[in-house]
Amino acid sequence: MYKIFILLLVLPFVLGCDTGSINNNPNIPNYSVNLQINLSLPDYSHLQFASNHIVDYSQGARGIVVFNAGNNYVAFDLACPNQPYSNCATPMTINGINATCNCDSTVYNLFSGQSPGQQYPMKQYRVDVNGGYLYVTN
């Protein structure tokens, strides 16, 4: 009886672990991402305010958008997540709080990277904040 109790106690923790499966997208290749953003520089200072973004085309599969989601920062790849990489060569277009895939006109929300009814969300990267710097990695 004691073993069953321990098993039931530990099981939610084991099953509740995030394995990072949100980024297991067969349509987008894995590229190394290592981007450092100094928020005190004029090019990036607007990123300190909610709902603003910057785009860097030198990283990721088709570029990266870094977005201030209000209480945190998020970063997503600009490759269309639900189109084969080789069939959709253009990066997504950013318009306000949305990213639009130019190949199928699907609109994704930059707060979550999700689009209703789509199999895959936008490929997300890790954003660490340290002082006035953002570090975007995978």
Q: What is the pLDDT of residues 25-38, one digit of tens each?
A: 999 999 999 999 99
- Number of domains, the chain: 1
State the CATH number of the domain containing residue 63.
Answer: 2.102.10.10
Q: Read out DSSP for the chain?
A: -HHHHHHHHHHHHHHT----GGG--TTS-----EEEEETTSTTTGGGGSTT-EEEETTSTTT-EEEEE-SSSEEEEE-S-TTS-TTT--SPPEEETTEEE-TTT--EEETTT---TT-SS-PPEEEEEEETTEEEEE-
**Which residue range is the domain that position 104 belongs to?**
33-137
In a domain, 51, yes or no: yes
Is 16 part of any domain?
no
Instruction: Give the pTM.
Output: 0.83
In a domain, 17, yes or no: no
Does the residue 52 lie in any domain? Answer: yes
Residue 92's pLDDT is: 97
